[in-house]
A = this chain, B = another copy of it.
């Protein structure tokens, strides 16, 4: 059955998931890239939305063959586009349960993102964490939305692979881990520091850097050695270089 009406309840429900407050309420997020849906095949989507023309062409048969029919919804092309975040949608959206976890680790190396703002940066950092096999990413509550479609897109399928946690700054400093703040004027360079188990490196906000609270409460401080004539690196680049050094 093809859903054609904007008054349909499933249509309205899925359309709402484009907004953060509904994503949070229902604990769901959307993936629009077929290749990512395929790479995440060990994660079962809760719902699949397909547009009518793709369905008729059998375009996504490999993706949907393992999914229960009652969770697959077909929409007329005309209203399907309202469910998409991208303008050039391939014609399918998979909706997954949130993938973040509870932090119960007592070893490993992690990054703490201290109010990171750009979904593209957050997604990129997750992708680099996956590439260099970091043990996980911990995100401050006021960072941008992990489940923003742009974050998900930039992470490629790494959002499904990297352990991701949420934690307040206060809880972070209470952990029995070594909290390392990154600061341009710190005297030790990441080139000289030997990263070890239980290190958590704090990456600051794109404009403001690491928060005062974590600057005051960090156990140690590191800099990325850059030219004095440059204000800063891109947050994704800075975090990726740190992950690269941590996992040496």
Give me the interface of A with B, judged by CB distance under 8 Å. 124, 127-128, 130-133, 154, 156, 158, 161, 191, 226-227, 229-231, 233-234, 236-237, 240-241, 244, 248
- Chain B residues near A132 (CB, 8 Å)? 226-227
> Considering only CB atoms, which chain B residue lies closest to A123 in the complex?
B234
- Report whether A156 and B231 are in contact in the complex, using a CB–CB cutoff of 8 Å: yes
- Tell me which residues across on chain B come within 8 A of A230, comparing CB atoms: 127, 130-131, 156, 158
A-B contact pairs, 18 of them (CB 8 A): A124-B234, A127-B233, A127-B234, A128-B233, A130-B227, A131-B233, A132-B227, A133-B227, A156-B231, A158-B230, A233-B240, A234-B236, A234-B240, A237-B237, A240-B240, A240-B241, A241-B241, A244-B244
Query: With a CB–CB cut-off of 8 A, which chain B residues contact A130?
Result: 227, 229-230
A227 to B229, CA, bound (A): 34
Point out the residues of chain B lying under 8 angstroms from A233, CB to CB: 127-128, 131, 240
Residues of B within 8 A of A231 (CB): 156
In addition to A132-B227, A154-B234, A156-B230, 19 A-B residue pairs with Cβ atoms within 8 Å of each other are A124-B234, A127-B230, A127-B234, A128-B234, A128-B237, A131-B226, A131-B227, A131-B230, A132-B226, A158-B230, A191-B248, A233-B240, A234-B236, A234-B240, A236-B237, A237-B237, A237-B240, A240-B241, A241-B244
Complex CA distance for A154 and B237, rounded to whole angstroms: 12
Which residues from B are CB-within-8-Å of A156?
230-231
Kindly name the residue among A132, A227, A244 whose own CB sees the greatest number of chain B CB atoms within 10 A.
A244
Closest B residue, CB atoms, query A230: B131
Contact A229 B128 (CB under 8 A): no
Q: Which of B124, B191, B227 contacts A237 (CB 8 A)?
A: B124
Query: What's the least CB distance linking A36 to chain B, in Å?
Result: 11
Q: How far apart are the CA atoms of A159 and B108 in the complex, in Å?
A: 39
5 tightest A-B contacts by CB?
Answer: A131-B226, A237-B240, A131-B230, A133-B227, A241-B244
